Amino acid sequence: MGVTYFKRFRMEYDLAGGLFPEPRVPNDYVASRWNHRLLEEHSETKFNSFRFEIDANVFPCLGNLDGCRRLMGDISGRPSFLPNSTILVAHHDHQTGEVDYCGTIQAIRDPQNRGSIQNIGVTPGHRGYRIGTWLIHHAFRGFITEGIQLATLEVTAHNTKALRLYERLGFQITRTVFKAVEVAFA
């Protein structure tokens, strides 16, 4: 076994300065707040969003379905869990009646009373329609109803797509950290 280090940025968004406008997303997408009955849909959407992405190396649980189930079960049972900022997006195909779960975000309150958003994921076929922006917008509305004024997240430095999205929305980098991950050498 060896250890590899992933460079990550901590970012913050000051909600006291106002919330960015709700993006316009196609009207066949529907966002829902957390409900325990949606644990499986959140877990599957997370897995399908992360399985081929860099963060599945940083957090190996994101690269397998059982890991995503354990993660959602664990986080949703914590006192710090924020159900109003934990959102699932579904795509409704009005012609076939099919529902495809395609976006997920979860949030907790940290000990400094900041809203921490975690593991935002949009499945590959639904990217670029502002679903990611919409998930963050909904999570932030949940923070505001909880009286939370500062939002935080961590992003892997090489995850340029996510980093660009957060910078475009107005997040600022506040710290650089390194996450150690154990790797097996062949």
Q: Which residues bind ligand COA (CB under 6 A)?
A: 23, 49-50, 53, 55, 120-122, 127-133, 155, 159, 161-162, 164-165
CB of 96 to ligand COA, least distance (A): 22
Secondary structure class of 135 (helix, strand, coil): helix
Between 73 and 128, name the residue whose CB sits nearer to ligand COA. 128
CB of 73 to ligand COA, least distance (A): 20
Residue recorded with tokens 């679903």: 131
Residue (of 18, 27, 9, 8) closest to 140 by Cα position: 18
CB of 185 to ligand COA, least distance (A): 25
Secondary structure class of 119 (helix, strand, coil): strand
Between 146 and 167, name the residue whose CB sits nearer to ligand COA. 167
What span, in angstroms and rounded, lies between the C-alpha atoms of 186 and 170? 42
Between 13 and 50, name the residue whose CB sits nearer to ligand COA. 50
What span, in angstroms and rounded, lies between the C-alpha atoms of 66 and 131? 25
